[in-house]
Amino acid sequence: MQCELCGNECSGRCKPAMVDKVKMVLCPRCIQYGEGVKEIQGSPIHVHKSLVRRSNRLKEKDVYEKMNIELISNWDDAIKDARKQKGLTREQLGFNIGEPTGTISKMEKGELRPSDKVAKKLEKELNITLFEEVKKVTPQHTSSESQGLTLADFIKKK
Ligand SMILES: [Zn+2]
């Protein structure tokens, strides 16, 4: 039998435990990461979750950094104002660019970030600029260790 977290052989010593709502068989060394510790603030599992969230955000930003072109920060208002100026309803705008009305209203509320394709269609349709050129973006990666870190890696590093 192997520990499902670190992969170490642990015949006879492995115990089932809940890790992050997933049932896993853990060796005595990893059992501390199972059910019972996750309520403790700053436990390894909490740290790991925030690392994942942060690296996901960075990944999303990276796409735009490579192109040195970013969506303007107030794209939601820019879309709404331009649409109103053109006297279009959300339905009409959606029809014109081939997107559902729900997509338009979510974008105007800032709930949905328009994809490059949709943003370009909006720029053309509404005669606005949704992208801005970013001169030089300093990488925001405070720690490269947070990139693609798995729970098992995290524990190994300790
Ligand atoms: Zn283990």
Distance 50 CA to ligand 1 centre (A): 22
Q: What is the rounded average pLDDT of the residues 92-108? A: 97
Going by C-alpha positions, the residue among 85, 158, 82 that lies closest to residue 124 is 82
C-beta separation of 61 from 140 below 8 A: yes
Distance 37 CA to ligand 1 centre (A): 15
CATH number at residue 110: 1.10.260.40
**Is residue 149 a part of any domain in this protein?**
no
Distance 79 CA to ligand 1 centre (A): 52
Q: What is the rounded average pLDDT of the residues 95-111? A: 97
Residue with the larger pLDDT of the pair 67 and 102:
102
Where a domain ends, among 32, 60, 88? Answer: 60
**Is residue 148 a part of any domain in this protein?**
no
Distance 6 CA to ligand 1 centre (A): 4
Distance 9 CA to ligand 1 centre (A): 8
| Interatomic CA distance for residues 82 and 121, integer angstroms | 13
**Is residue 152 a part of any domain in this protein?**
no
Residue with the larger pLDDT of the pair 81 and 29:
81
Name the burial class of residue 3, with classes exposed (0-12), middle (13-18) and buried (19+) by CB atoms within 10 angstroms of its CB: buried
**Domain of 117, in residue numbers:** 68-133
Q: What is the rounded average pLDDT of the residues 7-34? A: 85
Same domain, 83 and 32: no
**Is residue 109 a part of any domain in this protein?**
yes
Specify the number of domains making up the chain.
2
The pLDDT score that the predictor gives to residue 147 is: 54
| Interatomic CA distance for residues 55 and 143, integer angstroms | 10
Where a domain ends, among 14, 40, 60? Answer: 60
Express each pLDDT in 47-84 by its tens digit.
Answer: 555 555 555 555 555 554 455 778 899 999 999 999 99
Same domain, 128 and 72: yes
Express each pLDDT in 122-142 by its tens digit.
Answer: 999 999 999 988 765 555 555
Distance 141 CA to ligand 1 centre (A): 30
pLDDT of 113 over the 90 cut: yes
Residue with the larger pLDDT of the pair 101 and 50:
101
Same domain, 45 and 25: yes
- Read off the amino acid at residue 142: T
**Is residue 155 a part of any domain in this protein?**
no
Alpha helices in the chain (DSSP H): 44-67, 75-85, 90-97, 101-108, 116-126, 151-157
How much is the pTM? 0.45
